[in-house]
Amino acid sequence: MNAADNNARDAQDRSADHELGMMGEIAESFRGRARWLTIVAWAETMAFLGLTIFAVVRFFDATTLREHVGWATAIAIAYASMVAVKIWYHNRLNRDAILREVKRLEQQVAELRREMTR
């Protein structure tokens, strides 16, 4: 085997190591400097989910139209808030994945520069 084949195999091994998948990205978000943001986002999501379920139960127990409208509004607000937190969290996961890829590309460029200067 020549050096080009070895370099290609090494590049494939490195890229396989960096592909985390969705569960891996979520687990990775609980590590690092922004761990507290992840914990807050998950806590908010669970709180809004609980509030949504509570409002749905109360909606079906309501007897007047005014109560129905009030609980339906509470359902919509709680659910929209939960969705907003999830969208923010997934955008953060995407940002972190892009940063990882940029760092990996920077490493590859640095390796190529070292090889070119030899």
The answer to whether 118 touches 3, Cβ cutoff 8 Å, is no
Locate all alpha helices (DSSP H) within the chain, ordered by sequence: 3-18, 21-29, 35-61, 65-117
Residue 109, pLDDT > 90, answer yes
Residue 108, pLDDT > 50, answer yes
- In tens, the pLDDT along 10-41 reads 545 545 555 678 888 888 888 888 899 999 99
User: Residue 1: its pLDDT value, please?
Assistant: 45
**pTM score over 0.75:** no
Q: What are the C-alpha distances in Å from 24 to residues 31, 45, 95?
A: 11, 19, 15
Q: Is 79 helix (H, G, I), strand (E, B) or coil?
A: helix
Alpha carbons 70 and 62: distance in angstroms, whole number: 10
Alpha carbons 99 and 115: distance in angstroms, whole number: 24
Residue 75, pLDDT > 60, answer yes
For the residues 84-104, what does the mean pLDDT come to?
93
User: Residue 13: its pLDDT value, please?
Assistant: 52
Residue identified by tokens 């090494």 is 10
User: Residue 10: its pLDDT value, please?
Assistant: 53
The answer to whether 50 touches 79, Cβ cutoff 8 Å, is no
